[in-house]
Chains A and B, each alone.
Chain A
Amino acid sequence: MSIKIYVPRDTTTLALGGEKVVSMILAQAESRGIDIELVRNGSRGLFWLEPMIEVQTGNGRVAYGPVEARDVAALFDAGLPEGKSTHRLALGDPEEIPYLKKQQRLTFARAGITDPVSIADYKLHDGFKGLENSLALSGQMIVDEVKASGLRGRGGAAFPTGIKWQTVHDCAADQKYIVCNADEGDSGTFADRLVMEADPLMLVEGMIIAGLAVGSTQGYIYLRSEYPVAHQIMKEAIANAYQAGYLGENIQGSGKKFDLEVRLGAAAYICGEETSLLESLEGKRGVVRFKPPLPAIKGLFGQPTVVNNVLSLAAVPFIMAHGSKAYADCGMGRSRGTLPFQLAGNIKQGGLVELAFGPTLRELLDDFAGGTETGLPMRAIQVGGPLGAYLPQSQWDTPLDYEAFAAIGAVLGHGGVVVFDESVDMTEQARFSMEFCVEESCGKCTPCRIGSTRGVEVIDKIRAGDKVEANLALLDDLCETMIDGSLCAMGSMTPIPVKSAFKYFPEDIALAHSRMSIQTEAK
């Protein structure tokens, strides 16, 4: 019998030489006359161990990582095909790796275990159970179940998913749409990508269930163009779902219909904002719309539309398979279920950590991050993407929950955690936040469009030591104008990282000034 060897096909594995590892494995197996079956699974999200290869043995899987192409011959010498654990890269049973074992994986339960585009594999691991249950229910009953789970939108705004669905369900229309927001533009986030690359059929299933719940027959996944690997895997998964009768005219003989298509974005951060995304899907400039009307009432092509983040839709199959209570039993306060945190930036052990809401930021880092990559102490942590606050040590004991973060003027957003070591110049980070807003503003609101440019200029003056007190007051005033005078989060939240950088790290102003004068003298 052939030996099953798993090598992930996700972006990170490929970015770290995964294809070369695959070629070496094939070459080694052939030259040694070993019969292997190579499976391209998804990553388990332990990115610091990628490329992590796994071998199926009689006693479960054995993992090795991080593997480089040049390690493969030695791994074969050390008995990799038999699953021996003598080589220094041997990790043993992947499920026992503490980084994974300490997690509560609901959404990412299958990640890394299955072939992401295999319908058979998906079904073998509880796939389509939620859909089966849903096909026996009325739309209202599905909506009720999702409401009872307490699921809140995972894109950042944390709006209750069930209530959004109810609104669309209650609208009478010839055509309604399910739109998946897969424009995961926040730096430091990759949970959506991991869903699409490791378990895309879960997203397909979630969208079909959403269609059944609200009475929609057409879904679109708006995927960012920066994710070519996710695009490829998503397309394969959808094609397989069509072939197996899960998409199309008559879903599993139920007489229900649902069509699904991936649409590629074109590198505009603003299109992660739902109304701008809808404009873009319609083939227009991604300019933010006024609300109301809510997209749930007047969305894509003017029709009632559910717009949900990948993670929100991906949570639905679990809820419908195991019941709303199983999901709601995790979490704290009004934040129910789990949130996949994404550890990124300057840390040793970056990756995806799915936990119930509640532990503090410090616990998350102590348990998982493994310290900084550079070995220098951590200094600032940006949580929630480019519009999230930079938090100093004194704030790291805040519990990871939507309300607790809001209470300190920060956001949990999409769960991205980016760590900076002490070499960071926080005035430079503040400047970058404004610069990013210049680059990505859709231009509709003046405070965002022009305020961001003025923001860069004022911060430059502060950094150069030019009338620091007066310019800080001006910057504060500008930030207030952006917060109060912008329609969407781009303009109204850019001040969050800017203000936090100056509030918590004021000592960097003098440092930036001295650094810049040294540079000027050197010239």
Chain B
Amino acid sequence: MNDLVQWDLQEVQEVITSLKHKPGALFPILHGIQNLAGYIPAESLPLIADALHQTRAEIHGVVTFYHLFRMTPPGRHSLEVCRAEACQARGSRALEAHVKAKLGIDYHQTTTDREFSLEDVYCLGNCACGPSIRIGDDIIGRVTPEKFDQLVDELTTVALEIRS
């Protein structure tokens, strides 16, 4: 989605302006900004607060309450691993350990090459066919360590243009 995170304050302001009239506008605004920028930049908080006649502290409180909203730029691929019981019963504990070892990061971290951000998630609703992971908006089921390695290879393989 966001190769190098790119956004400018003008676009953020446009998102805010287009949604601020809605009842309970803060959630649509935060989703809008995170879809645009990949995260909620600190610089956007005063703009949101201003538009909704709330304090910056209130906006900050909401952003930090929810697991989904993040205030740091994610990696190129947002990866979520399901930790909930139905996936545990199908081997997700081993998968979690494998994923962390393979990427060399823990939850809430991003790889140094900025390819992957790793988050935990509590249930993707694919509980009959776990263990499940989510990459961007794609949910993938029956993920074994081997299948995971293959996915990582596919996502990180860059087609090189060779000029003759």
Residues of A near any B CB (own CB < 8 A): 11-12, 14-16, 47-48, 50, 184-190, 193, 225-230, 263-269, 280-287, 301, 342-347, 350-351, 373, 382, 386, 416, 418-421, 424, 429, 432, 436, 439-440, 442
Query: Which stretch (B5-13, B26-34, B110-118, B156-164) binds chain A?
Result: B26-34
Q: Are A193 and B142 CB-contacts (below 8 A) given A15-B132, A345-B85?
A: no
Kindly state the separation between the CA atoms of A233 and B95 in the bound complex, as whole angstroms: 30
- With a CB–CB cut-off of 8 A, which chain A residues contact B86? 187-188, 344-345, 416, 418
Taking a contact as CB atoms under 8 Å apart, the answer to whether A190 and B125 are in contact is yes
Measured CB to CB, the closest approach of chain A to B18, in angstroms, equals: 15
Measured CB to CB, the closest approach of chain A to B104, in angstroms, equals: 20
- With a CB–CB cut-off of 8 A, which chain A residues contact B90? 345-346, 373
29 contacts between A and B (CB under 8 A): A11-B125, A14-B139, A15-B132, A15-B141, A15-B142, A48-B129, A188-B123, A189-B127, A227-B124, A229-B139, A263-B27, A264-B31, A266-B27, A267-B68, A280-B27, A284-B26, A284-B62, A285-B61, A286-B65, A301-B24, A342-B127, A344-B130, A345-B86, A350-B129, A386-B85, A418-B85, A429-B88, A432-B88, A442-B65
Does B71 interact with chain A (Cβ within 8 Å)? no
Residue picked from B24, B87, B125, most chain A C-beta under 10 Å? B125
7 A-B pairs besides A190-B128, A267-B121 with CB distance below 8 A are A187-B86, A187-B127, A227-B125, A266-B67, A342-B128, A345-B127, A436-B122
- Cross-chain contact of B62 among A228, A285, A345, A440 (Cβ < 8 A): A285
Kindly state the separation between the CA atoms of A382 and B127 in the bound complex, as whole angstroms: 13
Measured CB to CB, the closest approach of chain A to B90, in angstroms, equals: 6
Measured CB to CB, the closest approach of chain A to B152, in angstroms, equals: 17
Kindly state the separation between the CA atoms of A421 and B142 in the bound complex, as whole angstroms: 17
Kindly state the separation between the CA atoms of A287 and B61 in the bound complex, as whole angstroms: 11
Q: Are A350 and B127 CB-contacts (below 8 A) given A263-B28, A280-B27, A345-B86?
A: yes
Taking a contact as CB atoms under 8 Å apart, the answer to whether B85 and A188 are in contact is yes
Taking a contact as CB atoms under 8 Å apart, the answer to whether A266 and B69 are in contact is yes
Kindly state the separation between the CA atoms of A269 and B123 in the bound complex, as whole angstroms: 10
Does B4 interact with chain A (Cβ within 8 Å)? no
Does B153 interact with chain A (Cβ within 8 Å)? no
Taking a contact as CB atoms under 8 Å apart, the answer to whether B89 and A264 are in contact is no
Task: Using CB atoms, name the residue of chain A closest to B27.
Answer: A283
Measured CB to CB, the closest approach of chain B to A47, in angstroms, equals: 4
- With a CB–CB cut-off of 8 A, which chain B residues contact A186? 123
Interface residues of B in 30-67 (CB under 8 A from A): 30-31, 52, 61-62, 65-67
Measured CB to CB, the closest approach of chain A to B80, in angstroms, equals: 8
Task: Using CB atoms, name the residue of chain B closest to A345.
Answer: B89
Taking a contact as CB atoms under 8 Å apart, the answer to whether B129 and A12 are in contact is yes
Does B25 interact with chain A (Cβ within 8 Å)? yes
- With a CB–CB cut-off of 8 A, which chain A residues contact B144? none
- With a CB–CB cut-off of 8 A, which chain B residues contact A351? 128
